[in-house]
């Protein structure tokens, strides 16, 4: 008898093929993606796709009697909220962050996960589920086709196909008979030229296949949480405490030596020969970021390996690991102080805003590590699963908060505030922002306002929005008064 494989133990193939509800849900998602999704920019179609996918999966789960836990429902709502950002904000860079995080949240909603390994596996499980579900889907379709009492879904699909064909024929005739009706159809339907047809077919196949994987994952979730059980044999107190104490001493010495550098602000930069704001803010920043990430790893390993048999063990953990987390939190605060000095000197940009948001997230994680230390529950084990979920959940919340704050509008506002104080501004950088910044740019005096709006308006004039491409940020920008025809010579 052969040994069971990894997947046969933790993610076995289902015994029954896909049912009619699963097939219908995948077709609905594929058709929605083909008809109402524009992958090149944010728009309403992304939210519609998410709602159709959520509704189809809920229909399948109800048909199979599967109920999701509260945490999995929250992950699903987070995925929908992230896709909804594309309807509200027009910043492509922001939505490019939201889409993969939404996919990860969707994976967690379908697969679940409590441990670190289970959460990572669940977040990226949809593409793998799509690969594993091919034969499951084909067998289900073949079974429904052969069953006389199960031919209803196939007949419904055939009826829908006939209906679409009739709409195409009669719609083309009506459009050729009346120009007004032709314009309405042109605005309501997606692009059907050669390139548009290829893109539509590609979206139907890719997203429909992804929906098959999502349904497969929701009804047959893996049990990767069991892989992380155990955590190895705890080491003796001295074996883990010595390296942690040495690391604590190193952190404390570094914080003490660099204290004036970190929190000196403007005075430290001005009093140090040859030191610029750029050097002050950038100096060692990425190294400190690596230190932050490595510290989280050290804390995770130490919490798993350290024993807690008596009061001495628990006190050693609280002091040793708590001091390390507290000193790492000081490093995070110092990095934020450096970035604030850099922003005051040179203005706010997208990269600087993202860096600040990541540092705040790191700080929240260290605070949660300190809270977890009070309860003395190990990272990576089942009982400590709240910390892993909270860490990823706060990252999702930070991204949603960033979207709610309108980052491009915030960048424009901060740079205009700096201009009012220093009379220095990079107009051409402001012109590279998205339509979300247009309301804030109204604060600029002429001709700076028109120069900043010129490139933004030009990009919007080249992009026609169909109903499924609606975006509130772009629409609000179009409603603003246009800039004048000013010749822009510099910033």
Instruction: Give the tens place of pLDDT for each residue, 417-436.
Output: 999 888 888 888 998 999 99
Q: What is the pLDDT of residues 276-329, one digit of tens each?
A: 656 666 566 667 778 888 888 888 888 777 777 777 777 888 888 889 989 989
Of 435, 398, 6, 68, residue with least CA distance to 217: 68
Q: What is the mean pLDDT of residues 206-224?
A: 86
More confident residue, 477 or 104: 104
- pTM of the full structure: 0.83
| pLDDT value at residue 241 | 82
Residue 447 preceded by cis peptide, ω within 30: yes
User: Is 388's pLDDT higher than 60?
Assistant: yes
- State the Cα torsion 328-332-338-344 to the nearest 10°: -160
How far is it, in rounded angstroms, from Cα 54 to Cα 21? Answer: 13
Q: What does the pLDDT read at residue 100?
A: 95
In this predicted structure, the answer to whether residue 270 has a pLDDT above a threshold of 50 is yes
pLDDT score at 49: 94
Q: What is the pLDDT of residue 99?
A: 95
- pLDDT of amino acid 379: 42
Which of 99-103, 214-218, 271-275, 338-342 is predicted least confidently?
271-275
| Under 8 Å between Cβ of 423 and 448 | no
How many Å apart are CA 216 and CA 129, to the nearest integer?
A: 7
Q: DSSP secondary-structure letter at 433? A: S
Task: Please report the DSSP string for 328-390 in residue order.
Answer: HHHHHHHHHHHHHHHHHHH---HHHHHHHHHHHHHHHHHHHHHHHHHHT--TTSGGGHHHHHH
The 10s digit of each residue's pLDDT in 58-91 is 988 888 777 888 889 999 999 999 999 999 999 9
Angle at 264 between CA 261 and CA 266, to 5 degrees: 120
CA distance 305 to 314: 13
Q: Is it the case that residue 231 has pLDDT exceeding 60?
A: no
**pLDDT, tens only, 355-372:** 889 889 999 999 988 887
The reported pLDDT for the residue numbered 151 is 52
150 pLDDT above the threshold of 60: no
**Most distant CA pair in the chain: distance in Å?**
88
Could you give the percent of the chain with pLDDT greater than 90? 21
């Amino acid at each position: 008898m052969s040994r069971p494989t990894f997947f046969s133990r933790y993610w076995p193939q289902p015994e029954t093929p896909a049912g009619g509800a699963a097939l219908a849900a995948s077709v609905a998602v594929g058709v929605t993606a083909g008809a109402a999704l524009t992958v090149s920019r944010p728009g309403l179609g992304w939210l519609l796709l998410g709602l159709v996918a959520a509704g189809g999966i809920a229909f399948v789960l109800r048909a199979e009697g599967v109920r999701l836990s509260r945490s999995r429902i929250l992950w699903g709502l987070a995925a929908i909220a992230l896709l909804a950002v594309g309807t509200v904000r027009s910043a492509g860079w922001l939505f490019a962050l939201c889409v993969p995080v939404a996919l990860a949240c969707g994976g967690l909603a379908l697969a679940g996960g409590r441990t670190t390994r289970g959460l990572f596996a669940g977040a990226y499980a949809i593409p793998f589920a799509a690969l594993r579900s091919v034969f499951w889907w084909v067998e289900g379709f073949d079974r429904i086709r052969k069953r006389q009492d199960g031919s209803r879904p196939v007949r419904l699909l055939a009826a829908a196909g006939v209906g679409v064909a009739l709409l195409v024929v009669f719609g083309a005739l009506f459009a050729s008979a009346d120009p007004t009706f032709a314009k309405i159809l042109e605005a309501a339907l997606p692009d059907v030229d050669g390139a548009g047809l290829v893109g539509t077919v590609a979206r139907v196949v890719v997203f429909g296949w992804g929906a098959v994987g999502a349904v497969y994952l929701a009804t047959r979730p893996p049990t990767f949480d069991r892989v992380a059980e155990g955590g190895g044999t705890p080491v003796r107190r001295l074996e883990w405490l010595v390296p942690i104490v040495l690391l604590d001493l190193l952190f404390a010495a570094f914080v003490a030596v660099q204290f004036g550098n970190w929190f000196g602000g403007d005075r430290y930069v001005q009093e140090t020969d040859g030191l610029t704001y750029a050097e002050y803010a950038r100096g060692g920043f990425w190294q400190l970021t690596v230190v932050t990430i490595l510290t989280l790893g050290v804390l995770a390993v130490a919490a798993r390996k350290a024993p807690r048999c008596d009061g001495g063990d628990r006190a050693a953990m609280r002091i040793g690991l708590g001091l390390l987390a507290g000193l790492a939190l000081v490093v995070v605060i110092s990095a934020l102080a450096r970035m604030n000095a850099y922003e005051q000197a040179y203005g706010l940009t997208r990269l600087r805003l993202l860096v600040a948001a990541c540092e705040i997230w790191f700080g929240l994680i260290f605070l949660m590590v300190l809270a977890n230390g009070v309860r003395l529950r190990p990272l990576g084990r089942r009982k400590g699963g709240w910390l892993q979920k909270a860490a990823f959940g706060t990252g999702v919340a930070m991204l949603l908060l960033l979207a709610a704050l309108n980052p491009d509008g915030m960048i424009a506002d901060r740079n205009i505030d700096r201009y009012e104080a220093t009379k220095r501004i990079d107009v051409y950088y402001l012109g590279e922002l998205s339509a979300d910044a247009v309301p804030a740019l109204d604060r600029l005096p002429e001709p700076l306002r028109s120069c900043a709006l010129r490139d933004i308006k030009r990009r919007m004039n080249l992009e026609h929005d169909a109903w499924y491409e609606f975006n509130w940020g772009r629409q609000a920008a179009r409603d603003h008064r246009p800039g004048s025809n000013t010749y822009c010579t510099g910033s």
